[in-house]
Amino acid sequence: MKRVYVNEEWCLGCHLCEYNCAFANSGESDMVKALKGKPIRPRIRVEGDDRITYAVSCRHCLDPLCIRSCISGAIHREDGVVCIDREKCVGCLTCVLVCPYGAVQPGPDGAAMKCELCLHNAAGEPACAAGCPNRAIVYEEREEGQA
Amino acid sequence: MKKYLIIGGSIAGVSCAEGIRSRDGEGEITLVTAEAFSNYGRPLISYYLEGKTDIPRMSWRGEDFYEKNRVQVRHGVTAEKLEPEAKRVILSTGEALSYDALCLCLGSHPFSPRFEGLETVENRFFFTTLEDALALEKAVGKESRVLIVGAGFIGLKCAEGLRDRAGSVTVCDLAAHAMSANLDADCAPILEKHLAENGLRLMLGDTVTKFEGKTARMKSGKTVKFDVLVIAIGTRPNVSLLAEAGGAVNKGILAGERMETSLPGVWAAGDCTESMDVSAGEAGLLAVLPNASLQGFCAGVNMAGGAEKFDKGIKMNSIGFFGLHIMSAGTYTEPVYTEITEHSCKKLFAAGGVLTGFILLGDVSRAGIYTSLIRERTPLETVDFEALKKEPSLLPFGQAFRAKKLGGAV
Ligand SMILES: Cc1cc2nc3c(=O)[nH]c(=O)nc-3n(C[C@H](O)[C@H](O)[C@H](O)COP(=O)(O)OP(=O)(O)OC[C@H]3O[C@@H](n4cnc5c(N)ncnc54)[C@H](O)[C@@H]3O)c2cc1C
């Protein structure tokens, strides 16, 4: 299946992916209205230091620990995409406790949230990849272990 | 066609069925469980009382799970005897069910020491099943004074669930601190203060010596008047079905990394088992939901001829009370990092060159990066541990690690 991958050599550390992500998941149609003056809650985050930067988001693991660990059964797969049913989630954050990539976080209402590849929002496909100016973030099919 | 039998319809049992079906679409799966409800998130019972979920949403793998996975379920039926030579299980209905592969997913039962006068208490409950929660929902009214014996996570979750329903909630524990199995004396006071600020009355280092109807006489000499009593002192693995059949048990059913018991054709998973804790280097009770699920799945795959291992087991827990998040994992060996403020606490423990445990209270973001270090037994010399101590991130793991994890399917 297609996933979001990051080529860290090409990442400029511009954080645009974070803004595009927060906007895509805001439910708003106007970026200024969605983001201006508000703390943004992107599901992808740029990390690194003054030499290296890269973005981290849910890996949609082949055998996701979060799905096995979720106490409410809120985390599940939809065609391979790991999704959170935020109606079922009670916000215990066991997913945050087990995710090896630190890719899950509490959302504004306390329920957990993470990248769902923009399949449930108006973007339709990952806004982080679509808007990455240097094509460091890509949305494509890769094999296990292939870099 | 292979005949699979699963005893216990909770997290481990349901995960076992998932594991079987991941390899064998044909075999016949029967699941027998003592409770009237099954396949629900057991930890959700306090959220139910709090009004944060309801019975339909508590379904762990969805209401169509059994149908979709072709599992024959028998609710309200207890397995009473295991006959390993004949490969069959005798049920409370008198039936004998034969199997080719059996998995015991029996969980645990609440434990109650003998309190003098306990039989004089009319309204007394445990807090481990949905039925317990439904009974408490009925018994507790706006005026009720609730006394909970046990300030472990189950007792405190119960207290949180009942706070808005009851007149008052008091929690006592012989231990000097709340959640003493998970927190240490540095971290626990932050939680205790938070609980008190949220209306719970804590009586720590104190417990009941005698019950007289609606009065509890405490060790300290105090008395507590109550209407409803909840005993939440602890749980014990259900081992007798296997032990009486001659299987090896210690505190829990002994299960190796394939989740096989000492009896051929008999697997076990979840809270009823005792298995290797990689952070301690010895077997122990790893009784939390993620382990029950991982073990059940592993057992199921192996019952169907696969080769799964459960070999990264540690204790780990994430829980919150009135908005304060608490995570704990692994074994508390040598403290190597401590950061304590008025509202938060962070402690990391390491030994033998690997991270063995942590406690986080307040800021829990990206804690899984630490959990993963413990489970994978990552040599700390291969990462920039000084940087990791301060903040969990993937930077200290180096470029090769990131290329593998962020650059391919994992
Ligand atoms: C209030 C509460 C809060 C919790 N919170 C958390 C949390 O936040 N995070 C976390 O990770 N864990 C939590 N836990 C622990 C978690 O619920 C357990 O680890 C998990 O449910 C274990 O699953 P299991 O399938 O092994 O056993 P159980 O869930 O105990 O289920 C065992 C089942 O087997 C049935 N059974 C037993 N013997 C027989 C028999 N002879 N015949 C037929 N059926 C039988 C029982 O009736 C039961 O339905 C909590 C537990 C409680 C009670």
pLDDT at B283 over 90: yes
Q: B288 is written with which tokens?
A: 């939390």
3-state helix, strand, coil in chain B (%, to 5): 30, 30, 40
DSSP, collapsed to helix, strand or coil, labels residue A61 as: coil
Q: How does pLDDT run across B44-87, given as a tens digit for each residue?
A: 999 999 999 999 999 999 999 999 999 999 999 999 999 999 99
Residues B166 and B209 in one domain: yes
Task: Using the structure block, give the residue that is written with the tokens 């009670």.
Answer: A90
Does the domain formed by A1-57+120-147 have CATH 3.40.50.150? no
What is the CB < 6 Å shell around ligand 1? A 71, 92; B 7-13, 32-35, 42-43, 45-46, 78-79, 105-108, 127-128, 154, 157, 238, 241, 270-271, 287-290, 292, 317, 319
Query: What pLDDT does residue A146 have?
Result: 56
Which residues face A141 on adjacent strands? A2
The range of the structural domain enclosing residue B156 comes to 118-231
User: What residue of A is the nearest CA neighbor of B321?
Assistant: A92
**Integer-rounded Cα radius of gyration of chain B:** 22
By the 8 A CB rule, do B244 and B274 touch?
no
Give the rounded distance of the alpha carbon of A33 from its chain centre: 21
By the 8 A CB rule, do B342 and B189 touch?
no
In B51-205, alpha helices (H):
55-58, 65-68, 130-139, 153-163, 188-197
**Of B253, B271, B303, which closes a domain?**
B303
Ligand 1 atom index nearest CA of B157:
1
Number of domains in chain B: 3
Q: pTM higher than 0.95 for the full model?
A: yes
Q: How does pLDDT run across B225-272, given as a tens digit for each residue?
A: 999 999 999 999 999 999 999 999 999 999 999 999 999 999 999 999
Distance from the Cα of A67 to chain B's closest Cα (Å) equals 9
Amino acid at the residue A20: N
The ranges assigned to domains in chain A are 1-57+120-147, 62-114
pLDDT at B101 over 60: yes
Amino acid at the residue B215: T
Which residues face B98 on adjacent strands? B88
Q: B13 is written with which tokens?
A: 């049992």
CATH classification of the domain holding B182: 3.50.50.60
B59 touches chain A (CB under 8 A): yes
Determine which of A8, A10, A93, A114 to mutate to test the interface with B (most B C-beta atoms within 10 Å): A93
By the 8 A CB rule, do B408 and A147 touch?
yes
Say which DSSP state A115 is in: -
CA of B241 to the centre of ligand 1 (A): 16
* Residues B118, B115: Cα–Cα separation, whole Å: 5
DSSP, collapsed to helix, strand or coil, labels residue B228 as: strand
Task: Using the structure block, give the residue that is written with the tokens 């069910």.
Answer: B97
- High-pLDDT (> 70) share of chain B, %: 100
**Residue partners of B389: CB distance under 8 A and separation at least 6:** B336, B337, B348
Architecture of the structural domain at A62-114: 2-Layer Sandwich (3.30)
Contact A59 B405 (CB under 8 A): yes
ipTM: 0.97
Distance from the Cα of B59 to chain A's closest Cα (Å) equals 7
**Residue partners of B114: CB distance under 8 A and separation at least 6:** none
Say which DSSP state B144 is in: P
CA of B107 to the centre of ligand 1 (A): 5
Does residue B383 lie in a domain region?
yes
| Other beta carbons within 10 Å of B126 | 20
By the 8 A CB rule, do B367 and A97 touch?
yes
Q: B23 is written with which tokens?
A: 């390899």
B261 touches chain A (CB under 8 A): no
Residues B396 and B332 in one domain: yes
